[in-house]
């Protein structure tokens, strides 16, 4: 009984540590906003201005590939049907033949 408690405690501890690892691995945000300034901003701040101001290109809506639209949902549907069929066939073949009615 004591070894079962030790094993359970170890497993719970490992689970908590594995859940905390991504948080510990995350990088901290930079404290100084001047460190993240673009070069264009520093040029304007130093007295230089560009001859032509170019507006940043607007983000065009990227249409997902056909695989994302059709193939992935179809694969997920086939996998769900296969899992459901496996469960049904298990109960039809195994559970039904497990017990026999004695008359």
Q: State the chain's mean pLDDT as an integer.
A: 78
Q: What share of the chain is helix, strand, coil (3-state, %, to 5)?
A: 65, 0, 35
pLDDT at residue 81, rounded to an integer: 97
And the tokens for 2? 């004591």
Tell me, what DSSP letter sits at residue 54?
-
43: confidence class by pLDDT, cuts 50, 70, 90:
very low
Q: What is the mean pLDDT of residues 21-30?
A: 66
- C-alpha to C-alpha distance for 21 and 23, rounded to whole angstroms: 5
pTM metric for this prediction: 0.37
And the tokens for 25? 């691995």
Q: What is the mean pLDDT of residues 19-45?
A: 60
């Amino acid at each position: 009984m004591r070894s079962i408690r030790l094993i359970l405690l170890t497993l719970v501890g490992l689970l908590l540590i594995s859940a905390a690892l991504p948080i510990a691995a995350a990088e901290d945000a930079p404290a100084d906003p001047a460190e993240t300034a673009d070069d264009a901003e520093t040029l304007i701040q130093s007295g230089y201005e560009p001859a032509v101001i170019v507006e940043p290109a607007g983000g065009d809506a990227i249409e997902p590939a056909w695989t994302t639209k059709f193939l992935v949902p179809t694969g997920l549907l086939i996998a769900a049907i296969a899992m459901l069929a496996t469960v049904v066939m298990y109960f039809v073949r195994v559970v039904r033949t497990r017990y026999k009615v004695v008359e």
